[in-house]
Amino acid sequence: MKRIAVFTSGGDAPGMNAHIRAVERTAHKHGLEVIGIVGGYSGMMSGHMEVLDRIRTANILDRGGTVLKTSRCPEFLEPEGRTQAMEQLRSHGVDGVIACGGDGTFHGAHLLFEEHGIPIVGTPGTIDNDLWGTDFTIGYDTAINTAAEAIDKIRDTADSHGRLFFVEVMGRHAGFIAMDVGVACGAEYIAVPESMTDIEELYKRIIAQGRDQRTIVIVGEGDELGGAYKLSQLIEERYGLTSKVSILGHMQRGGSPTVRDRVLAARLGAASVQALLDGKTDVMVGEVAGRVELVPLADTWSHRKSVPSYLIELATMLV
């Protein structure tokens, strides 16, 4: 193995740049050349690639987003698209690939390996923290800190006016962000996709605060009732309670990564290079109980990662 490629795909996550830097530095120490694929799978299909060196990856540790850019590429879902991508990898002399992203990225990586046999290793880059096989994903820690800071500010105005606020956080179909920030910010109720939202219980908790008291309800975007706006509407229609809604949205993906995310990204970036050198392929490099672990890519989406039960119990106890 002489030349490897690294790319970021799907939703961006804080820490991806630290990951790219770690891949370049580690590969260089092992005498490998590194190619950066610009624009995710779209860049792979079009051959948009550039050599990464020490200068190109300098001073990017503290930057949010990804210097290699990212995209969602429907064309890669078709066998013809993957064949086109493989032809580009061959023409650029790529012997192995490191894919940083979420489950969509890993589905594509798995198919690319199955159909064309190129060694490929995944690293978990998503703020949702929903990938099985790693305790935390790159970007998650920054996202929950960003969300908590925003919710603390919302609480100030909610307290001043005695208002009920529904605050929606990201996480797609997983409630990790909602549960963590809900506990951290003292929410009166946390609605997550993993469990049915009990409207009557939600109303009781709001009333327990007093109609003119500050109340914060955290809603995961994948909540089965339709998110923060829908919950706000249901509470008003059934119980006559008015509320304010804040959708934190994509601000949770941006910003300088926390120390925790930088260290995790660096560790997994270095480990992904070593995995390729050790002949590992079609696997994700994760961190479990402080140890680097390799799990088959298919396991990362076929096994469901659950919100810890102790967090659910804690959230109920602290209301």
Q: At 107, is the secondary structure helix, strand, or coil?
A: helix
Task: Give Dmax over CA atoms of the chain in angstroms.
Answer: 68
Residue with tokens 């490099």: 285
Question: How many CA atoms are closer than 13 Å to the CA of 276, on its beta-carbon side?
Answer: 29
Report d(CA 70, CA 7) in Å as an integer.
8
H-run or E-run covering 200 = helix 199-209
**Ramachandran category for residue 64: left, alpha or beta (phi over 0 → left; psi -120 to 50 → alpha):** beta
Report d(CA 249, CA 20) in Å as an integer.
25
130 is catalytic: no
Q: Cα 74–77–80 angle (5° rounding)?
A: 110
Written as one letter, the residue type at 159 is D
Segments of 10-150 assigned E as strands: 33-37, 49-52, 96-101, 120-124
Cβ atoms within 10 Å, residue 5? 25
Report d(CA 128, CA 256) in Å as an integer.
17
Report residue 314 CA to chain centroid gap: 24
In eight-state DSSP terms, residue 252 is G
| Catalytic member of 12, 95, 103, 128 | 128
Answer for the pair 50, 35: CB distance below 8 angstroms, yes or no: yes
Report d(CA 263, CA 259) in Å as an integer.
6
Catalytic positions, please?
A: 128
